[in-house]
Chain A
Amino acid sequence: MIDSIIQWIQSAVAFGTVIMFGCCGEILTEKSGNLNLGIPGAMYMGGIASLAGAFFYENACLTAGSTPNAILCILIPFLCAFAGGALGGLIFSFLTTTLRANQNVTGLTLTIFGAGLANFFGGSLNKLAGGVGQISISNTSETYRTTVPFVKSTGFFGEIFLSYGFLVYLAIAIAVILSIFLKRTKAGLNLRAVGENPATADAAGINVSKYKYLSTCIGCGIAGLGGLYYVVDYTKGTWNNAGTIETLGWLAVALVIFTTWKPLNAIWGSYLFGFLYWLYLYIGLFGVETTRSTISLIQMLPYLATMLVLILTSIRKKKENQPPESLGLPYFREER
């Protein structure tokens, strides 16, 4: 019983971490008024970029006959993932901010593009490695999953709180830093002004395009780290075309609404989504019989929770819980 619950917590945390990265990235993006539905695409791009980076580095080491360096094992996939995600953000920004394309269409297209790109190169990597499931980035994966050394000696506490790789804690740190950035800094204030009322921000001398570009690219880069965590930790270094990243990406977008655009809420919200998502595996603990239909029903819970938040916030009508006012709208100074 206790073991099952610990297992449940651990898988919820792993699941939550992927979407926490996506959610924090999307909050940063949406605060600039850009509704980027390309987050799943950015996660795909970050994931495949990190996988490719790790694969080629380990292969090169293998050919040279040396052992991969732990620091490089961390750095190469990390930078690849961030850059891969940010590239998605750059495409989105260029289309919506510079060319003023419709944000919804552009975002959906980016998701399809990212999925296609990632699966294409995922297939290529599988081929290079000699077949499906043959990609080996065991060194990278292991480095990423290294925990603090004294976990074993701390019992339940360690298993629940300390048994993860550093990305889990990085996600929490990003959420906290993002919250401070938005609430306490001048740049954060300017960014929120851009998302609320770009004309006002513009009249105050803020470079609206610069803020939109930067927040979207950095936001997508953070989402790309979600892809990194998925590849090196969640699936432990393989590539499949199952489309799980896309499911996770959409949950990250839903989570943004659930958090009412507050990064701190993303921390517990993402773990809650994780608990709800895996509930079907553990519901037996409560004496509920699982059938195919109950599994499907239970997996709807994160979405139901999001709807509930939507309903509650619109009943309460509190301005602070609403999306940024200009979310999804293009800005053109001379538009009348």
Chain B
Amino acid sequence: MEQSSAIRLENVTKTFGSVVANKDICLDIRYGEILSLLGENGSGKTTLMNMLSGIYFPDSGTIYANGEEVSIRSPKDAYDLNIGMIHQHFKLVDLFTAAENILLGTHKGKKDNLQTVVTRIREICDEYGFEVDPYQKVYNMSVSQKQTLEIIKVLYHGAEILILDEPTAVLTLQETRRLFHVLRNMKAAGKAIVIITHKLNEVLEISDRVSILRRGEYIDTVETKDATELSLTEMMVGKKVSLDIARPETEKKLPLLELRNLTIKNDEGNLAIKDVNFYIRGGEILGVAGIAGCGQKELCETIAGLRKPERGMMIHQGEDISTMSPKEILNKGISMSFIPEDRLGMGLAPSLSITDNMILKTYSEGHSPFVNRKKGRSEAEAVIQNLGVVTPSTETPVRRLSGGNVQKVLLGREIKSGPNVIITAYPVRGLDINSSYLIYDILNQQKLNGVGVLFIGEDLDVMLSLCDKIMVLCHGEVMGIVNAANTTKEELGLMMTGAINLTKERTTETKKPGIAPDSYIEEGDK
């Protein structure tokens, strides 16, 4: 096969203060090929690619583009070398329309205006089968639309070398398929593509070669056809691992949290959750499956007390919590960790240190007017130790940690307060495989301790092996609650789209799904 080198990195090193993000990295990116960059969270993949897109400048080492030594000092230099990067956090101005976002900036020798941009967007859309309205404002777009816009943007500017940083982390299965189709088209058109992703099945599906980084160091590059999920994981982690998720058996306990006829409105005033019934027992993991944005966020916020339900009851060990404040609910032992799409948005204060984040929920305890940091520090140390958080110290601001480590800190804090119900939404969003398994282990440990876990997830394979029961939401309605051991991915998929509605089928005069037989709520109570 004839493939010429697009970009070659030699011994590239980058440090942030005392943290070595990249050490002596060598990499070869070729035209007409898709290269996967694989590594755990914090292994320096994004930093490396940011040096190609001109966001960071390497401390030492050499970069060659098309065989010539180059110095990429700014994003503009990267543009001039036809390098286009699609960042994990989209680089779009919310207030602008799609066309305005593309028009932005100055580019060599191009006399474009809004009209020509709109025409060109339509051409690109036709060529690759995208659907984007050039006049739509970005703040009205869905995540996948924004990503499509980012891709159109780099194509518009004539990028020959495309770098995609975790493009599938926020996409649905169908959207991912469409993206891969586009990437294959681009590869066929001779473009060089680098894709950063944690999902090993995607790496095996889409890429031609895989380069692996571990803790900022370059490990190896292998041909995808010679690799397996296990071999890649071992190179990434550096030791033998097992890819099975355990589902320990526990004794059935009384229902901890019961939700009865719960109806919730979203910010726009539409119904987000409609007349939902379910319960969580101690010692079980209840999975919640559903297409993104069908009421998961509103459900979490309501249980945590941040949003008041329109109707219905929330009973915690026989006590109604639907009118309690978030603080009172917290004191009842219900903890929530929600990982939003931007991953830093909820639950942690980014500029505060790990220690300060640990005591965020408990600062008001004790009688002294001064903050007791000693306790927080030892808790921070314990979380760092137990969950393997990679950080220079307990006093490092959380925003300086990589995504996975941030999530470990968040979950670690929620667990240390010893809750009896844990609500966790997308806890492994954007996490590498090793960190994900660590989080599954943590949840299983909590389950064994008798905690009830509500696990709002994305990956059906994971939910099928981790959860005891799975509840499927579709447009805010429960399509059914099934035993994870007796269901299939296909059945869940059909329920997610609303094609099967078990709730409707199984409702009888005397029995309603989602109501525990040994409920705390007396009949006639409703």
21 A-B residue contacts at CB 8 Å?
A189-B96, A189-B100, A189-B104, A190-B104, A196-B96, A197-B92, A197-B93, A200-B101, A202-B74, A203-B55, A204-B104, A204-B105, A205-B75, A205-B76, A205-B79, A205-B107, A206-B105, A206-B106, A319-B95, A325-B94, A333-B56
Q: Does B91 contact A (CB under 8 A)?
A: yes
Q: A204-B75, A319-B139 are in contact. Are A196 and B95 (CB under 8 A)?
A: yes
Tell me if B94 and A197 are in contact (CB < 8 A). yes
Q: Does B400 contact A (CB under 8 A)?
A: yes
Report B102-115 CB contacts with A as 1/0, cut-off 8 Å.
01111100000100
**Which among B95, B100, B104, B400 has the highest number of chain A CB atoms within 10 Å?**
B104
Residues of A within 8 A of B75 (CB): 202-205
Cα distance A192–B103 in the bound complex, in angstroms: 12
Residues of B within 8 A of A333 (CB): 55-56
Residues of B within 8 A of A202 (CB): 55, 74-75
Q: A204-B104, A205-B106 are in contact. Are A336 and B16 (CB under 8 A)?
A: yes
Our pick among A190, A203, A325, A336 for the contact of B91 (Cβ within 8 Å) is: A203
Besides A200-B101, A325-B95, 12 new A-B residue pairs in contact (Cβ under 8 A), listed by A number: A190-B106, A192-B95, A193-B93, A196-B96, A197-B94, A201-B104, A202-B74, A204-B91, A205-B105, A206-B106, A319-B139, A320-B95
| Beta-carbon nearest neighbor of B46 in chain A | A336
Give B contacts to A, CB under 8 Å: 16, 53, 55-56, 74-76, 79, 85, 87, 91-96, 100-101, 103-107, 113, 137, 139, 399-400
Tell me if B95 and A200 are in contact (CB < 8 A). no
Cα distance A201–B101 in the bound complex, in angstroms: 9
Residues of B within 8 A of A189 (CB): 96, 100, 103-104
Kindly identify, within residues 162 to 211 of chain A, every residue whose CB is under 8 Å from any CB belonging to chain B. 186, 189-190, 192-193, 196-197, 199-207
Report, nearest first, the 5 A-B pairs whose CB atoms are least far apart.
A204-B105, A205-B76, A200-B91, A205-B105, A203-B91
Task: Give the interface size bracket for A toward B.
Answer: 20 to 34
Report A119-134 CB contacts with B as 1/0, cut-off 8 Å.
0000000000000000
**Which among B16, B92, B107 has the highest number of chain A CB atoms within 10 Å?**
B92
Residues of B within 8 A of A200 (CB): 91-93, 101, 104
Tell me if A196 and B104 are in contact (CB < 8 A). no
Cα distance A196–B92 in the bound complex, in angstroms: 10
Cα distance A207–B105 in the bound complex, in angstroms: 9
Tell me if B55 and A190 are in contact (CB < 8 A). no
Q: Does A289 contact B (CB under 8 A)?
A: no
Q: Does A334 contact B (CB under 8 A)?
A: yes
**Nearest CB on A from B218, distance (A):** 22
Tell me if B56 and A334 are in contact (CB < 8 A). yes
Cα distance A333–B79 in the bound complex, in angstroms: 16
Tell me if A206 and B104 are in contact (CB < 8 A). yes
Cα distance A199–B55 in the bound complex, in angstroms: 9
Residues of A within 8 A of B55 (CB): 202-203, 333-334
Residues of A within 8 A of B105 (CB): 190, 193, 201, 204-206
Cα distance A298–B79 in the bound complex, in angstroms: 57
Cα distance A190–B104 in the bound complex, in angstroms: 6
Kindly identify, within residues 280 to 336 of chain A, every residue whose CB is under 8 Å from any CB belonging to chain B. 319-320, 325, 333-334, 336
Residues of B within 8 A of A186 (CB): 103, 113
Q: A205-B74, A205-B106 are in contact. Are A196 and B91 (CB under 8 A)?
A: no
Residues of B within 8 A of A205 (CB): 74-76, 79, 105-107
Residues of A within 8 A of B56 (CB): 333-334
Cα distance A206–B54 in the bound complex, in angstroms: 12
Cα distance A181–B106 in the bound complex, in angstroms: 17
Q: A205-B79, A319-B139, A333-B55 are in contact. Are A196 and B400 (CB under 8 A)?
A: no
Tell me if B104 and A336 are in contact (CB < 8 A). no
| Beta-carbon nearest neighbor of A320 in chain B | B95
Residues of A within 8 A of B74 (CB): 202, 205
Tell me if B16 and A196 are in contact (CB < 8 A). no
Residues of B within 8 A of A199 (CB): 91
Tell me if B104 and A193 are in contact (CB < 8 A). yes
**Nearest CB on A from B116, distance (A):** 12
Tell me if A336 and B95 are in contact (CB < 8 A). no
Cα distance A196–B139 in the bound complex, in angstroms: 13
Our pick among A192, A203, A319, A320 for the contact of B53 (Cβ within 8 Å) is: A203
Cα distance A192–B93 in the bound complex, in angstroms: 9
Cα distance A336–B93 in the bound complex, in angstroms: 19
Cα distance A199–B87 in the bound complex, in angstroms: 11
Cα distance A193–B74 in the bound complex, in angstroms: 17
Cα distance A201–B106 in the bound complex, in angstroms: 10
| Beta-carbon nearest neighbor of B21 in chain A | A336
**Nearest CB on B from A257, distance (A):** 17
| Beta-carbon nearest neighbor of B87 in chain A | A203
